Amino acid sequence: MSCTILAIESSCDETSAAVISDGKILNNIVATQSVHEKYGGVVPELASRAHQQHLIPVVAEALRTSGVSKKDLTAVAFTRGPGLMGALLVGGSFAKAFAYALNIPLIEVNHMEAHVLAHFIEKPYPEFPFICLTVSGGHTQLVLVKNHLNMEVLGETSDDAVGEAFDKIAKILGLPYPGGPHLDRLAGKGNPKAYSFPLSDMKGLAFSFSGIKTAVLYFLKENIKQEPDFIATHLEDICASVQFTLVKMLMQKLVKASREHQILEVAIAGGVSANSGLRNTLKEAALENDWQIYLPKLEYCTDNAAMVAMAAHYKYRAGIFCDLDISPLAKMKIGYHG
């Protein structure tokens, strides 16, 4: 069944559109929102307004560069959730109007499932079943992927996401927004064993990252008392030690999940999957545990419409569409379709 789909992503602070034709991504247009930089974090209302400004030009560029006209489209897809409610409303409303005007089907996509399915944009593809560690500013989950449309969350964070921990600690250290990539860059120059921070001790496959933020804050306060320029003098070692601890917390649970479910196909996805410390540690763990690992291209780690388009492709093939009155779900869970 031939299909050409326009996909829209607007869950947070990236406005993105992509076109997919018979499973092949034709483009992936992304407009970033620099308005948040001076606030040190995403401001939901400003994100919604920026989506309104960017969406029409981004969609027009996606259609133009793909060589696909509106009449060639067989469906329109959009991120239903999870995400910022206002941002989701902008993208969802646009997608509904576009589908209605063209009288073509509408497809809702789970943002976190889309991150997982980014692994099917380009070969090599993971073999089912596989375990995917999805890590971002809003989520930290271990997902058992049984097929393209059947996923189960094995464990997730009980409080903060690991991406939030990276960004908040980076902010404490005085790094620019977004802080995670800056912390990663500095960590590459430091000693990961310079300082020790506590690991969370959650049962099963659950994560917790609120404690390390507090631990780092008190650690800095105590050392600044003795050495006022402590952060500036030891910044690279601090970043390396923080990153080492956060990555170790992720890897402990990933190894545990792989052994419990006897699965050697392992992938990572989401914004934090671009972190060099995590990627390098995963490669080392693959040798120790005989894993076949899958690392997404950097352009498919952060929020983008190509992954939404790929998820929509599989839903289209399965005949899974939604009504025009469907509402966004800010806390949409993996495995929920309704």
Summarize pLDDT for 201-242 with one digit per residue, the tens: 899 999 999 999 999 999 999 999 999 999 999 999 999 999
**Annotation-wise, does 210 bind a ligand?**
no
In degrees and rounded to multiples of 5, residue 25 shows phi and psi of: -75, 125
What is d(CA 15, CA 270) in angstroms, rounded to the nearest whole number?
16
All residues at 6 or more sequence positions from 288 whose CB lies less than 8 Å from its CB, including other chains? none
**Annotation-wise, does 258 bind a ligand?**
no
Summary mean pLDDT of the chain: 95
All residues at 6 or more sequence positions from 216 whose CB lies less than 8 Å from its CB, including other chains? 169, 172, 197, 242
Question: Mind listing the domains of the chain with CATH numbers?
Answer: 4-116+300-317 (3.30.420.40), 126-296 (3.30.420.40)
pLDDT of residue 337: 58
Please give the helix or strand (H or E) that residue 287 lies within, else none.
helix 276-289
User: What would the mean pLDDT of 137-166 be, rounded to a whole number?
Assistant: 96
**Annotation-wise, does 76 bind a ligand?**
no
**Annotation-wise, does 337 bind a ligand?**
no
**Annotation-wise, does 22 bind a ligand?**
no
**Annotation-wise, does 303 bind a ligand?**
yes
**Annotation-wise, does 191 bind a ligand?**
no
**Annotation-wise, does 11 bind a ligand?**
no
pLDDT of residue 336: 60
Q: What is the pTM of this model?
A: 0.95
Q: CA dihedral in degrees (75, 50, 87, 108; nearest 10)? A: 10
Which of 75, 82, 54, 43 has the alpha carbon at shortest distance from 334?
82
**Annotation-wise, does 115 bind a ligand?**
yes
